[in-house]
Amino acid sequence: MPIILDSIIETLPNGWKIKQINIGVNWTLVEIINPEGLTRAGIAATPGPEEFNAQTQFHYGLNQLPISDARILAEKVREVAPVQAALGLATLNSMLSPDPTTLTDIDAGDWLVEHSIGRKVAIVGHFPFVKELVPIANKLWVLELDPREGDLPASDAPKVIPYADLLAITSSTLINHTLESILELVQPGTKVIMLGPSTPLTPILFKFGVNLLSGVQVSDMPTLLKSIEAGVSFRKMRGLRRVSLLNI
């Protein structure tokens, strides 16, 4: 049972409608609108080509759905089907409105480099900053569903995570529904961060042991749409503001 997702969904507001859905090769965007004409948007990682091509309900580019209620679409984040779950997560993210006074501009990569010195670090997902941690961490484990050279398979999580002083988790674990099983392995005292554009910026995740949430907010919709349609990587995306919520 997705307890974490259920806890977040319970807090979502009513009255928002879907304005547009745009699915790119790397990122899925959902824009919503309320009766007063206020718009918001959120993104999530698009599942890989193999998973995307295994379904026929959605296609790359603009999509039209019979669902107009944003909250109903956000509930699709519970789905086992990864494309639907990603669409639900992007919608959920669009509906979150964190208190601006609680947001910081902490960069997750910089924070990890600063706090990994001499510590045992486990990372779920392969990020560009991993190479910066190699010479400074006492021990570094990278867990991946599709391991690269030097990575460990995700199935090795029970052998690694209980021994980590610091754990960084990709927010894509909310799409493949592995987050809760990962957090169950965390020992008291371990600092946990979630990062990536799919990260829900909600303090509810603090109740489940996450200490730092590093995600994004949409700042320029036309520019962001160009990035999504071009299929660029996160580091090359424009139209986003990187923000974090901290509970350490």
Residue 2 clears pLDDT 80, i.e. is over it: no
pLDDT of residue 134: 94
Task: Give tens-digit pLDDT for 176-189.
Answer: 999 999 999 999 99
Residue 138 clears pLDDT 50, i.e. is over it: yes
pLDDT of residue 114: 94
Q: Where residue 1 falls among pLDDT bands split at 50, 70, 90?
A: very low
Residue 126 clears pLDDT 90, i.e. is over it: no
Residue 156 clears pLDDT 80, i.e. is over it: yes
Domains in the chain, please, with CATH? 3-98 (3.30.390.100), 101-219+234-246 (3.40.50.11590)
Q: Are 137 and 117 in contact (CB under 8 A)?
A: yes
Residue 83 clears pLDDT 70, i.e. is over it: yes
This prediction's pTM: 0.96
Q: Where residue 248 falls among pLDDT bands split at 50, 70, 90?
A: confident
